[in-house]
Amino acid sequence: MNLIFASSNKNKIKEISALMPSNIVLQGLQDVGITQEIPEPGTTIKENSFLKANFVIDFLKNKNTSVFADDSGLEVEALNNAPGVYSARYAGTPKNDDANNKKLLQELNTKTNRKAKFVTIITLILNGQVHYFEGEIKGTIAFEPRGNTGFGYDPLFIPQGYRSTFAELGAEVKNSISHRAIAVKKLVEYLKNSQP
Ligand code: ITT
């Protein structure tokens, strides 16, 4: 089946492509003629996840389009779960991973509690029906950026049970345990069971 992934984040597209079975043909936004960045005006991760998927349905004016979107964020306990829904633009616009990581370290400068979690909510719109799939992973925030794989907050996030950051662990390990991998596995399972 053809499935549109409503994301312009190349790293997410790479991670999700690696988790998709071969009978699902992923189409990017450009494949369906969407070149602008999809607005994310929501105040929760779930809301933005839905808005991104629904944008594609509205844009294509086709309620039977099969589309999914991933909205993700980092929730840091000592910062009242910030940056959360604002993870992409934590240090302002345009979005910048290095600036976000720098700001996060500054905000945590005086904190001893380094606990955090990554959250992903995938919204699937299939035959006009909306479905949500969630994934999260607990961990802690390192004291300086380490490693050079992945994206976003990966150089600062140490998943529970490990000593290395996601950026040090590499794509294969990240993709076997991450928030996104957990949500995508649920999505794939659902698609497998819903196909004739
Ligand atoms: P879309 O086009 O899919 O919306 P985006 O980059 O805007 O791409 P989000 O709105 O979900 O994605 O923003 C989440 C931000 O959180 C993202 O820019 C990263 O900074 C961070 N993030 C999300 N998933 C991550 C991951 O697996 N590892 C590290 N950082 C992540």
Task: Give the atom of ligand 1 at the shortest distance from the alpha carbon of 48.
Answer: 10
Mean pLDDT (the chain, rounded): 96
CATH of domain 2-194: 3.90.950.10
Residue 179 is predicted with a pLDDT of: 98
Q: Where are the domains of the chain?
A: 2-194
- How far is CA 34 from its chain centroid? 19
Contact 84/45 with Cβ under 8 angstroms? yes
Taking only the tens place, the pLDDT of each residue in 164-186 is 999 999 999 999 999 999 999 99
Using CA atoms, how far apart are residues 80 and 76, in angstroms rounded to an integer?
Answer: 7
Mean pLDDT value across residues 96-117? 97
Query: Among the atoms of ligand 1, which is closest to the Cα of residue 180?
Result: 27
In DSSP terms, 157 is beta-bridged to 141
Q: pTM of the predicted model, to two decimals?
A: 0.97
Which 8-state DSSP code applies to residue 38? P
Q: Ligand 1: which residue has its CA nearest to atom 4?
A: 7
